[in-house]
Structure 1
Amino acid sequence: MSTAHNNAKKGDIAETILLPGDPLRAKFIADNYLKDVVQFNDVRNMFGYTGTYKGKKVSVMGTGMGIPSIAIYTYELIHFYGVKNLIRVGSCGAYQDDMNLYDLVIAMGASTDSNYANQFDLGGTYSATASYNLLEKAKKAADEKGIKTHVGNVLTSDTFYQNDPDSWKKWASMGVLAAEMETYALYANAAKAGVNALTILTVSDSLVKNEETSPEERQESFTNMMEIALELA
């Protein structure tokens, strides 16, 4: 059963999938962590792979940037391919001064400036949250590996370049840890379908300290979050 965005067949994709935004990060994970890898998707160069990790079947696929892109891919993965556990592994911009490059953020919840939830006609403001069982396992795995994590709220924004360069400070004052562009839609889609979702992020830049990593580092050096996510399979 292929779709307009995915040429996989039913059964090609595992019930647990890692979802980096960058399709080359998906390839990196498949090449370096999975065994017996089979590529199931190359439509629009949004690469997807299925293999095994410690004997368990797991998939990994890019989602692109922003809510519209991840919303399409996760909807199809859930409703057409039977995926039950969706774990985003991405990058974020830190909003708090106790956060450093390469720190991990586990997104307990996601705020947003998007209108994505309007489609559900809820009559209010929907709070998008992670699946607690995945969050608990991820925090435990990070603690066992001695990896520093920040657990809390992130901002899923529709805009990367803000008209007001200081607008992030208002979110920071509410305790929001970092900004990214996909989690709110992932959590909303998963909640509506009754499946599990979690976002694990690596701090790629800091709005507080004006620091950033390179594109190459973002693609291949964020291994701590990859290894924690794979343990959830």
Structure 2
Amino acid sequence: MTIHIGAKPGDIAETVLLPGDPYRAKWAAETFLEDVKLINEVRGMLGFTGTWKGHRVTIQGSGMGMPSLSIYANELIKEYNAQTLIRIGSCGGMQNKVALRDVILATTSSTLSTPSRGIFKELQFAPTCDFDLLHKAYHAAEARGVPTHVGGIYSADVFYDERPDLNEQMTRHGILAVEMEAAELYTLASRYDRRALAVLTVSDHLITGEALPSEDREKSFGDMVEIALEAAFT
């Protein structure tokens, strides 16, 4: 056990999917995994381990924002020996070519600040995903016929952003979408020599103002979960 994860040694698989919402973790585990076991409910941040096509996988909620993600990813890596960590979550589109329900595979993530910023001091470290995971995820999405975009995203450190000028620059420089966790996940994966990828579903759009109704989200997010699983195990 760790401070934030109540799982016992051996309860957590080497491959971990990380949705921000603990109830999305519950939905994904019950929908896509077999022989599901609840392995964490500390502070209500639910985690489950089961199998997908015979492969052990854990789906653990990470909370909102990079500080929360950093806690769970650190403990999963250092205490439970997680080797592959894939963020599955929603994002806001920042390009006209990106539509609601599209999937985004993040090659890298720009950010103003992460919990790791103090380590690098004046250096602007550019965290990137694992290419093998990216390659497999792209082909999994292509095989499913899911509209998919590959490129850079922006990990914001605030949800209620009051910097429209910054969003304009992100869009101007080709950033596909905004979310709140991937930059720290990629940084930790680099530090500890782990594999990481963010597979994201566009749930709202900063340019058009469109947003998915809550009842439509689960069906759309299903593609994202299956793409992540295919990337991890094929």
- The reply to whether TM is greater than 0.5 is yes
Q: Is the 8 A contact 1:25 1:220 kept in 2?
A: no
> What is the CA-CA distance between 1:198 and the residue it aligns to?
0.2
RMSD of aligned Cα (Å): 1.3
Q: TM-score scaled by structure 2?
A: 0.95
Instruction: For residue 183 of structure 1, report the CA deviation from its aligned partner.
Output: 0.2
Per the alignment, residue 189 of structure 2 pairs with: 190
Name the residue aligned to 1:64.
Answer: 63
SS in 1 for 2:99: coil
User: Aligned partners of 1:118 and 1:227: how far apart in 2?
Assistant: 33
The alpha carbon displacement at 1:116 in A equals: 3.1
- 1:47 matched to which residue of 2? 46
SS in 1 for 2:168: helix
Match of 1:17?
16
Residue 128 of structure 1: CA displacement?
0.8
The amino acid that maps onto 1:100 is A
What per-residue deviation string (whole Å, max 9, x for no partner) do you get for residues 165-199 of structure 1? Answer: 35311111011000000000000011100000000
**1:105–1:202: 8 Å Cα contact kept in structure 2?**
yes
Instruction: For 2:192 and 2:121, locate their aligned partners in 1 and report how far apart those are by CA, in whole Å.
Output: 15
Between the aligned partners of 1:131 and 1:23, the Cα distance in structure 2 is 25
Measure the CA separation in 1 of the matches of 2:106 and 2:116: 18
- Summarize deviations over 1:185-228 as a string: whole Å, max 9, x none: 00001110000000000000001111011344445641110111
Instruction: Report how far residue 163 of structure 1 moved.
Output: 1.7
CA apart distance, 1:143: 1.0
Aligned to 1:207: 206
For 2:227, the equivalent position in structure 1 comes to 228
> What SS does the aligned partner of 1:129 have?
coil
Aligned counterpart, 1:114: 113
In 2, the alpha carbon distance for the partners of 1:216 and 1:19 equals: 21
Q: 1:178 corresponds to which residue?
A: 177
How many residues end up aligned between the 2 structures?
232
- Structure 2: gaps spanning 5 or more residues: none
Give the 3 Å change call, closer, same or farther, for CA 149–221 of structure 1 in structure 2.
closer
Tell me the CA shift for residue 123 of structure 1: 3.9
SS at match of 1:92: strand
Aligned-partner residue type, residue 173 of structure 2: M
Deviation by residue 1:54-81 (Cα, 9 ceiling, x = unmatched): 0111110110100000000000000000
